[in-house]
Structure formats: C-alpha cells, structure tokens
Chains A and B, each alone.
Chain A
Amino acid sequence: MTQDEFFAKLQAKFPKLEKAAAPVKDYLTVRLSSKDQIEPVAQFLKDSGFDILDMLTATDLLGPVDMKGFIRQQNFNPFLPDGATPEIESAATAGYPYRPAMDLLWSFISVENKLRVIVRLEQPREGTSVPSLVPMFKSADWQERETFDLLGIKFEGHPNLTKILTPDFTVGHPLRKDYVHVKDRFDE
C-alpha cells in the first residue's frame, strides 16, 4: 500500500481529514480539525494495521526561544575573541508564522505495510487539553507524561499524569518557548 492509497482509505472514512499543507518530509501527514477526531482516527488506524503508536510530541509555536530564561551568560561561546558580539542564536526569522499555539504530533507505524502516518493537531497554547490514547496504546503512557512535563499539555483520561523527567521542584514546563528558570537550591 502506498501513502496515497492509504490516504484515500482514510479520507473515505473521515471526509473532513486533509493532508497537512506543510508535511513532515517524506511521510504521510494528516491534519485534524478538532481534538474530538483523535480518538476515532487512532482507533481506525489501529484497526487497519497501524498498531504501533511510535511517537507522541508537540511543538510550541510561540516564537524563538527566550534565551534569557535559561542561559546565564549571553556570550556563552568561550572561543569568541574579547569584545566580539556573538551572533544571536535565537533570533526570529522574518516570514515564519509564529503564533500562540501548540502543534501536537502522533506518529503511527504499520510493520506489515511498511508505512508511517503522522497525525497533527493544532490547539490553543493556554490550557491545552486533548484526549489521552492510553486506553488504546500503552506506549502513550510515558510519552504523554513527558509531553505534559515538558510542554504543559494535559491529556484527559490519563491514569497517572504526573511529572516524569524534571525534578519535583522545577517550576514551569521547560520546552515552552517562554520558559524562565526559577532559581532553586542547586543554583549558587
């Protein structure tokens, strides 16, 4: 089965689905229009052979990362000669559509068909909350906890949505673009 054949099959079942305008290169990328779609789409994918939920993550589209939040010294390149101004490493690029949104990504694979389907969903940045896929795919468990921990996205129905990577005293979600480090007992 090729990507286009499978997309036709997917679209016959879910007419509202569309291919993403900017796909992940070389992979079939579909974009959901609302968060209610993720559960039926995931169930359909599972039933049609895409029984491995390979990856689950999200991107904060707010803007270039705020370096002041966690880089102590702006000129952190020790090889720059004295007095040289470093190239700003997180400057905004003109023309890129930064917006306050979270772009979620689920990636399913089918071993039999040698295919990967990437499902994307854009959600508002504040109070993001989407249905959890743990009842369908056990691999969603820790990956949803990771996404919650690092990006602050809530997964409705997750049995144990707690921090997983960052320490208990970390305030905020580090992978959000506006994350600012709050001093803790390990800072001097």
Chain B
Amino acid sequence: MSNMMTAADASTMPELKTDQLFINLGPQHPSTHGVLRIGLTIEGEVIVKAVPDIGYLHRGTEKLAEVRNYHHCVVLTDRWDYVSAMPNNLVFCLAAEKLAGVKTTPRADALRVIMCEMNRIASHLLFFGTYGIDLGAYTPFLYAFREREMVLDLFEMLCGARLTYNYIRLGGVMVDASPEWLKRTGEFIEYFKPRLDEYDTLLTYNPIFMARTKGVGIVTAEEAKSWALSGPNLRGSGVNYDVRKFAPYSGYENYDFDVPVGTDGSCWDRYFCRVSEMRQSVRIIEQAIAKLPAGPFMASGFAKVPKPVPGEAYAHVEASRGDLGIYLASDGGISPFRMHVHAPSFINLAMLQEKLVGMKVSDVIALLGSIDIVLGEVDR
C-alpha cells in the first residue's frame, strides 16, 4: 500500500507528464442535445482545447427564403428553434409587418403573447427535464414532460400541430381562440402553478444538483456582453436585458411582470433564471386571458402575395433562448431580397470554445446543458 502513488502525490511531481488525449464529444451524444460535435483535447481530467463543430443541420433557410413569398417563409421559421417555434413565427411576422407597414389587431397581439409565453413554458420545461438528465437526475424529466404534454395538447387543439405550428401569420394569427380553449388554458395555468414549487423541491434546491452547478462555468457580465449572449444566459450573469422590457412588442408593455436576474453567472444561475421565468410567463398568460380584447384576429391589409416597397426592417423578440432577430430586406419583389437570422443559440454557443478550457471533463455537460441550445437554430 505504501509504495502505491495517490493523486495527491502526482500533483506534487511536476515532472510526471501525462499524454494529451483527444476525445470526440458527439455528434451523436445525447447530452449535446442534437448534432453538435466538440473536439476536446484533455490532459488528465482538465480540458486544454475545445473546438465546437457545427453545421450538421444546416439547411440554408436564409437562401430558401429568397425564392419563396412572405407567407411561405413563415413555414421555414418553424424549423429553426423547433422546441419553441411560436416566437420564430412571431419575429418573422413582426419584421414583415414592419416592412409592409401593416398593423395587427389588439386581439391578435394578445393571442400572440399567450402563445409565445405558453411556448416559453414548454421550452423551459424541456430544458428543466433534460438538464436534470444531463446531471444524472432522471425523475424531474418525467414530471416536466407530464406538463409539457398538456401545453402541446393545447397547441394541438388550437392549431393542429404539436411542434411546427405555423400559427402566427402575417397580420395576425391562423385561427381565433375559442372560449373552450381559453377555459382549458386557464385550467392548465391553475394546475401548473403549484407544480413549479414541486420542481424546486425536485431539482432546484437538490444538494447534489447544486453541488454540480453552483460556482461552475462562471460567466462574468463583461464576458457575457462581449460574447453578446442573450436571454437567460445573459441575465444569469446579472445583466438586466430582456427585449420584452427593452423594446416592447405585441403589447408586452401592458403586462405586469418581472425579469429574473442572476448574480454570479454560474450554471445554477442560468438554470434558476429559466425556472423563475416560467412563473413570470404564468403571470403574463393570466393577465392576457383576463383582458383578451374582442375583435378580429387577423388584420386586413396583407395581400395574398405581398410585395413590400423596397426597404429594410429589423425586428427582434425575446424568444425562449434569447434575443431572436430577423433582418429583412426587400427589393420590391415577392420574396425577401435578403433574410438574416440573429439566432441566439448560435451566438450563445460561441463562448464554449473559450469557457471549456481549464474545466474538468465532468463539468463540460453541466456548462453545455446550461447554455440550452437547439441545434436547429444554431445551424439554421
């Protein structure tokens, strides 16, 4: 026993060199949440180099938009962030409406807000469940999907789709919400509120979970701004930037809600921002249903084949993963001359190559999961 070397002895022997080892993380690894490959070079347990490799899911939607008319383009938007497709629909419609100078109706705006917030809940529930799995807690996933199913059922009831909705259309929404749907949504909200406390007991304040995430993967506010992070990743670092407050759209200025902000920018803070955001989404949905204005759900003024006058417009919304923006340029033709997607997942992921260096192998998944990426949006 006495001549066996321990880890402590090894650290006091600097001349003892270990070889560097190259590991492929992904692209078919369940914890990478899609087809992301990271080339990791490790020395012992410590990462010395990380090279994220993306593009496996690149479908060229920006190019495809250049040969489709504006109504067709809404279908393309569903396929970026397929976990929360409503904000994708919304941001394209906002940009196209700005370009064409069409105003939506108050009822359409309220319905858009309800759907986007419902989708935020569904998306954050997926994050909550899969982040637990990433760190070895399987049970919260089952609870999260129980509630996520209910949200998807409500979406299916309203627009017939569970994943790629194409519900928000140019000038308004696809169909009006029936009183029956609004009643069921209200019932879901009542059912969902106590579940949030349940999640906190399951995962948020779980000592093992906190030990894996608190103080791990710290991103300071300066770093977060330099990497142009957005959404819960930026707010977890203590920067209070939420598009719903910064540049309100679709009548968000009429709702009373708070923006949860973290303190030190660790994985737990990013996680906690998302869980707290679900509570705020519940508040917004309650208010929106209570004061849902009557009237048409679709504005008149959009032609079957719109031809906006030449010009450029930019619209951005607070999607589930951050600040999702669309830059649209029109040359007066029936399809966009140029469409550029400011995809939050793509920009949030870029910090990985630098933040992973110096971390332990076991913390890689903790950091990657806390960024909450969807590869459909990273690659577009």
The chain A residues found within 8 Å of chain B, CB to CB, are: 22-27, 51-55, 57, 59-60, 64-65, 67, 70-71, 87, 89-93, 95-96, 98, 105, 107, 111, 114, 118, 137-139, 141-143, 146, 150, 163-167, 174-175, 179
Contact = CB atoms under 8 A, between A and B. Distances in A.
| Contact-residue bracket for chain B | 35 or more
B23 interface: no
A90 B226 contact: no
A59 B98 contact: no
Given A89-B68, A164-B54, A55 B342 contact: yes
Contacts of A146: 346
Contact of B55 (A67, A70, A165, A175): A165
B197 interface: no
A143 B247 CA distance: 23
A24 B342 CA distance: 15
A138 B350 contact: yes
B332 A25 contact: no
B350 A142 contact: yes
Given A51-B226, A138-B227, A165-B379, A93 B310 contact: yes
B327 A57 contact: yes
Contacts, number: 116
A163 B53 CA distance: 10
Contacts of B223: 138
Nearest to B347: A139
B350 A90 contact: no
Given A65-B67, A165-B58, 10 more contacts: A27-B314, A54-B342, A59-B337, A65-B63, A93-B331, A96-B332, A138-B227, A139-B227, A174-B60, A179-B63
Contacts of A138: 223, 226-228, 350-351, 354
B354 A118 contact: no
Interface stretch (B118-126, B144-152, B156-164, B238-246): B238-246
